[in-house]
C-alpha cells in the first residue's frame, strides 16, 4: 500500500499532564505510554480554544474559530466547509467517523440523542456517530443517514472502541482508511464501570501544588465571572479527580485492545496512530473545574504520533508548542496529502518535525483564544481572551467592549509550572511582555482576527474600529 492508514483517537477533556508519560504519578496508562515511547510525543501541545465545539471546528477545517466567530457552544458547522474527510475522500481513502460529533448545534436531552443529518456529517464516507450524549450508560450511534438508533450496551467508551475494532476487522483492504474515533471520556459526568470505580476511590492521590489554591491573580479573574470552587467542595472534587483517573485507565485499556486488534489484522505496519484530546480539565487545580481558562490544565493536551512501520521514529519528545490548527495539515501531511484548502490555512504541517527532518518550528509560539460565550452567567460571557504561548512563557489579554483586550496574565512555565504567580505587572518582565504582546499582535493580524487589542508595552492599538469606538464612548471627536 503506497499511502498509510490513519487511526485518529480523540478524547474529550483529557489534560496533557494526566498521563504517566507526562509525569503524573497517579496515572495508570501503560498502553499510551508505550505509544509515546515507540513514537513521538509533544510536550507542549495546546488546544487553541479549550471548549468542545470550536476545537472540533478547527480540527475539521484547519481554520481558527475567530474566522467564523464560533462561540463556545450552540453552533452548527456549515456543510459548505471543506473538511478533513473531503481531502481523504478525494485521495481515495475510506473515511470513517465513529462517536461524538458536536458540530450540529445540539444541546439538551431532546437534541443530544438524535441523528446528525447526513448533510451535516462533514462528508465522512462511513458514519457511526451521534451529536453528543454526556451519559455513558445511555448512548446510541447512528449509521450514515439511517435514523435507527444503535444503543451501546454497557459503558460508552468500551462500546465505541469495540465498534472501531470491528470496523478495522471488517473493512476491505483495497484502499487505505482514515478512521476518526471520538469518545466523550473523561468528560463529566464521571461515570466508570464498577471495577475501576472501586479501585480508584480507595487509592490515595498525589495532588499538584495548585490543587484548591486560588492564585495571586484572583482579583483579575473576577473581571470574568469566576467559577472557583469553595473549600467545602474539596471532598467532592477529590472524588471526581479519582474517577477521572479511573476513566483514563479505562481509555488506556481500550487503546491497548484496539492496538492489539490492529496487529491481529496485520494493519499495524501500514497505519499511523494519532492520539490527542480537545482540551483539558482542571479537576480542582486553581480551585476550578471544567475548562475555558487559558491555564495549562485547560489548554494543555496530549499529542502522540505512532507508526514504526511508516517511518515514525521512536522516543522523540518535542518541545515546540502546537495549536489545534496544526492538526488539519499534519493529519494529511502524515499521509503524504496536501491540505488543498480554498482559503489560506494558518496551521503548520508538523510532519517534518515528527519525522526528524527539521529540528524545530520556525515560529516563536502559538496563539490561543476564547472568541465568544453566548450563555449569560457562564465564564467569559462578553469578556473574551487571547493568549500567546511560547516555549517557556504564556501571555494572556482579556476584555470586551470598546476598551479592548488588555494584559491579564503572564506566567513563566519553567519556574512556575503550576501558574501560581502572575507576573504581568512585574517590571523585570517588561521586555518579555513587549515581545509576547508583539507576537500575539502579529498573529492576530496574520489570521484576520479583528478583536480589539488595546495598546500595551509600546505597541499601538490593533484594529482601528476599536479606537473609534473608544473615542465615541468618551464623547471625543475622531
Q: Is residue 370 included in any domain, yes or no?
A: no
Q: Which strands sit side by side in the sheet containing 126-130, from one edge to the other?
A: 150-151, 140-143, 126-130, 94-100, 177-182, 5-11, 271-277, 303-306, 40-42, 316-318
Are residues 90 and 141 both part of a single domain?
A: yes
Q: How many CA atoms lie within 13 A of 74 on its CB side?
A: 7
* Tally of domains within the chain: 2
Are residues 280 and 429 both part of a single domain?
A: no
**What is the pTM (predicted TM-score) of this model?**
0.95
Are residues 320 and 397 both part of a single domain?
A: no
Are residues 29 and 96 both part of a single domain?
A: yes
Q: Is residue 376 included in any domain, yes or no?
A: no
Residue-by-residue pLDDT tens, the chain, 478 positions: 589 999 999 999 999 999 999 999 999 999 999 999 999 999 999 999 999 999 999 999 999 999 999 999 989 999 999 999 999 999 999 999 999 999 998 665 566 678 999 999 999 999 999 999 999 999 999 999 999 999 999 999 999 999 999 999 999 889 999 999 999 999 999 999 999 999 999 999 999 999 999 866 554 444 444 567 888 999 999 999 999 999 999 999 999 999 999 999 999 999 999 999 999 999 999 999 889 999 999 999 999 999 999 999 999 999 999 999 999 999 999 999 998 777 889 999 999 999 999 999 999 999 999 999 988 888 898 889 999 999 999 999 999 778 899 999 999 999 999 999 999 999 999 999 999 999 999 999 999 999 999 999 999 999 866 455 555 555 654 4
Closest CA to 18 of 231, 238, 277: 277
Q: Is residue 379 included in any domain, yes or no?
A: no
Q: For 297-333, how does the pLDDT look when each residue is reduced to its tens digit (9 = 90+)? A: 999 999 999 999 999 999 999 999 999 999 999 999 9
CATH at 308: 3.40.720.10
Q: Is residue 224 included in any domain, yes or no?
A: yes
Are residues 68 and 20 both part of a single domain?
A: yes
Q: Is residue 297 included in any domain, yes or no?
A: yes
Q: Give residue 460's domain range.
A: 384-473
Are residues 315 and 426 both part of a single domain?
A: no
Amino acid at each position: 500500500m503506497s499511502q498509510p492508514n490513519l487511526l485518529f483517537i480523540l478524547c474529550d477533556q483529557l489534560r496533557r499532564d494526566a498521563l504517566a508519560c507526562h509525569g503524573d504519578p497517579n496515572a495508570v496508562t501503560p498502553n499510551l505510554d508505550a505509544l509515546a515511547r515507540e513514537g513521538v510525543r509533544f510536550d507542549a501541545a495546546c488546544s487553541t480554544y479549550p471548549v468542545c465545539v470550536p476545537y472540533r471546528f478547527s480540527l475539521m477545517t484547519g481554520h481558527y474559530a475567530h474566522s467564523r466567530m464560533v462561540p463556545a457552544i450552540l453552533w452548527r458547522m456549515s456543510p459548505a466547509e471543506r473538511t478533513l474527510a473531503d481531502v481523504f475522500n478525494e485521495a481515495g481513502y475510506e473515511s470513517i467517523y465513529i462517536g461524538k460529533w458536536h458540530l450540529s448545534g445540539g444541546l439538551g436531552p431532546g437534541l443530544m440523542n438524535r441523528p446528525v443529518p447526513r448533510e451535516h456529517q462533514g462528508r465522512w464516507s462511513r458514519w457511526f456517530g451521534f451529536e453528543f450524549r454526556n451519559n455513558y450508560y445511555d448512548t446510541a450511534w447512528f449509521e450514515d443517514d439511517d435514523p435507527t438508533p444503535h444503543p451501546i450496551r454497557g459503558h460508552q467508551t468500551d462500546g465505541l472502541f469495540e465498534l472501531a475494532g470491528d470496523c478495522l476487522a471488517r473493512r476491505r483492504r483495497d484502499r487505505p482508511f482514515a478512521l476518526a474515533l471520538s469518545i466523550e471520556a473523561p468528560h463529566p459526568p464521571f461515570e466508570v464501570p464498577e471495577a475501576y470505580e472501586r479501585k480508584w476511590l480507595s487509592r490515595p492521590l498525589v495532588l499538584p501544588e495548585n490543587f484548591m489554591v486560588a492564585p495571586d491573580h484572583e482579583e483579575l479573574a473576577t473581571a470574568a465571572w469566576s467559577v472557583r470552587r469553595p473549600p467545602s467542595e474539596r471532598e467532592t472534587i477529590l472524588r471526581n479527580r479519582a474517577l477521572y483517573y479511573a476513566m483514563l485507565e479505562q481509555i488506556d485499556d481500550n487503546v491497548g485492545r484496539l492496538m492489539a486488534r490492529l496487529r491481529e489484522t496485520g494493519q499495524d505496519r501500514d497505519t499511523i496512530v494519532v492520539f490527542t484530546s480537545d482540551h483539558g480539565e482542571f479537576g480542582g487545580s486553581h480551585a476550578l473545574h471544567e475548562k475555558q481558562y487559558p491555564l495549562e490544565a485547560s489548554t494543555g493536551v496530549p499529542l502522540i504520533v505512532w507508526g514504526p512501520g511508516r517511518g515514525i521514529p521512536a522516543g522523540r519528545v518535542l518541545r515546540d508548542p502546537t495549536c489545534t490548527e496544526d492538526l488539519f495539515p499534519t493529519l494529511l501531511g502524515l499521509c503524504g496529502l496536501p491540505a488543498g484548502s480554498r482559503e489560506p490555512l494558518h496551521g503548520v504541517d508538523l510532519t517534518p518535525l515528527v519525522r526528524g527532518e527539521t529540528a524545530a518550528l520556525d515560529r516563536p509560539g502559538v496563539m490561543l483564544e476564547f472568541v465568544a460565550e453566548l450563555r449569560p452567567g457562564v465564564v467569559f460571557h462578553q469578556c473574551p481572551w487571547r493568549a500567546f504561548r511560547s516555549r517557556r512563557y504564556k501571555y494572556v489579554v482579556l476584555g470586551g467592549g470598546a476598551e479592548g483586550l488588555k494584559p491579564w496574565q503572564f506566567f513563566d512555565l519553567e519556574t512556575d509550572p503550576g501558574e501560581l504567580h502572575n507576573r504581568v505587572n512585574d517590571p523585570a518582565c517588561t521586555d518579555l511582555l513587549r515581545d509576547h504582546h508583539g507576537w500575539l499582535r502579529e498573529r492576530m493580524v496574520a489570521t484576520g482576527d479583528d478583536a480589539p487589542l488595546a495598546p500595551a508595552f509600546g505597541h499601538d492599538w490593533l484594529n482601528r474600529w476599536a479606537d473609534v469606538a473608544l473615542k465615541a464612548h468618551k464623547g471625543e471627536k475622531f
